[in-house]
Amino acid sequence: MKINITKETFLDGLSVIQAGVSSRATLPILHNFLMETENGKIKLMRTDMEMASIHYINAEIVEEGSITVPLKELTDILKTLPGDKEVNITVGADNKVHIKCGKSKFWVIGTPKTEYPLVPEIQKTNTLNLKIKDISEMISGTIFSSSTQETRYVLNGLLWVKTGDKLEIVATDGRRLALAVSAIDSAVKDFKIIIPTKILNELLRFFALNKNTEDMVALNVASNQVSFNIKETTYISRLIEGNFPNYEQVVPSKKVMSFTADNQEIFASTKRASLCASDLGGTVKYALNKNILTVTSNSQRMEFSDEIKVEYSGEVFDISFNPQYVLDVLKNIPSDKVEFSLINSAQPVLIEAVGQTKFKYVIMPVRS
């Protein structure tokens, strides 16, 4: 194998695949990535046995071939090379990877492709095409509500439900829930799958690098895997098996009382209150009176109180929350106005942006 490539092109390609390589990988080969020539381009691939990323870059191919290379070592080498010179890479029969740029020369020990884990291809027979803008909003608007506890593995993913012309994405950690709903124009078969948050975070990272939010993402669903394809890049992941909670029963269907507030005002007040609720299990209390919301919190060393104007005409009422749950919701709502719908101080609370129905957020109150 022999190729000539620019430093910038190579580093940009490696940045797409590098995040998924764990420093705690149990198999040494997982610290490597696969580099091979394919259809006039260089295919970069890495996997951790749970998910994989594949990315194609342009290069001058002098000789065809393949090799796996330690990702960190090669990235560190490339970063030290001058940016205005071409990088020449040659793989010898002894699997040594020779890197030459100007007068500088390196070599690292590679491993044959045959020793790298296989990544099965997903049959593209059930493809759902979505805009990057739309899918990015749905993921980022829900993923923060997923669980990070390994003991609740089924909640370490987001539930994706395609029914007719509707796509729903749901995340929950058992104390809060986020639901995104979007209309789609697709004849794809209905599906109900749980996608790990790891690959979805990778997607968000990649989307942030992609300036054209009108580009399309091709979602392919198989029996136990899912893939996302964006032009020259593909992400593949195993699905999470298990029973996701019945989210439809969690989202309140009735509104006994509600209040509307300015998003920035209630966010700022809750943020200040959270400073006094830093103790384990600390809460923020909302007390409602006619058009007034009093926000209070206290700890052993601090106490806080604030009042903001809201639209509320019901009876005197109070309820307590984990402040971080409220803040996570409010900072993900783009609307200027938010509505809190309540049943009583012990039932789930529904938070929505005024004037839109794409997102619904549910938070369990805390017994004060």
pLDDT mean by block of 10 residues, the chain; 368 residues: 96 86 71 95 94 95 96 95 91 95 94 92 83 94 92 93 95 96 88 95 89 84 91 94 93 90 97 84 92 93 94 94 96 94 93 93 91
* 105: CB partners within 8 A, 6+ apart: 98, 99
96 and 27 in a common domain: yes
Domain boundary among 233, 248, 263: 248
Q: Which residues pair with 57 in a beta bridge?
A: 42
Please indicate, yes or no, if residue 64 is contained in any of the structural domains.
yes
Residues 8 and 43 in one domain: yes
- Report pLDDT for 362: 97
Shared domain check, 268 and 235: no
Q: Is 121 part of any domain?
A: no
Residue 333 lies in a domain: yes
Residue 180 and residue 142 in contact, taking contact as beta carbons nearer than 8 Å = yes
168/222 same-domain check: yes
> What was the pLDDT predicted at 121?
80
Q: Where are the beta strands (DSSP E) in 155-274?
A: 157-163, 166-172, 176-183, 191-196, 216-221, 225-230, 233-238, 257-262
- The CATH number of whichever domain residue 218 belongs to comes to 3.10.150.10
Whether residues 243 and 273 fall in one domain: no
Query: What is the pLDDT at residue 337?
Result: 97
Helix intervals (H) in 23-154: 71-80, 132-140
Same domain, 53 and 72: yes
Name the domain boundary from 192, 221, 248: 248
Q: Which tokens hold the place of 101?
A: 């740029």
> Which of 225, 248, 271 corresponds to the end of one domain?
248
Does residue 220 lie in a domain region?
Answer: yes
Same domain? 327 vs 346:
yes
- Please, where are the H alpha helices in the chain? 7-17, 71-80, 132-140, 197-209, 247-250, 263-274, 323-330
Q: Which domain, by its residues, includes 101?
A: 2-115
What string of H, E and C letters represents the secondary structure of 57-76? Answer: ECCEEEECCEEEEEHHHHHH
| 84 and 150 co-located in one domain | no
pLDDT at 72: 93
Establish if 341 belongs to a structural domain: yes
Statement to judge: residues 153 and 217 lie in one domain: yes
Same-domain status, 273 and 312: yes
Q: How many domains does the structure of the chain reveal?
A: 3
CA dihedral (4, 7, 12, 18) in degrees, to 10, reads 90
Residue 20's pLDDT is 57
Strand partners, 104: 101
Specify the pLDDT at position 186: 76
What are the CA-CA distances from residue 111 to residues 10, 67, 68, 73, 308 (Å)? 19, 6, 5, 14, 63
The pLDDT score that the predictor gives to residue 277 is 82
Inside any domain, residue 368: no
Pair type for strands 127-131 and 157-163: unpaired
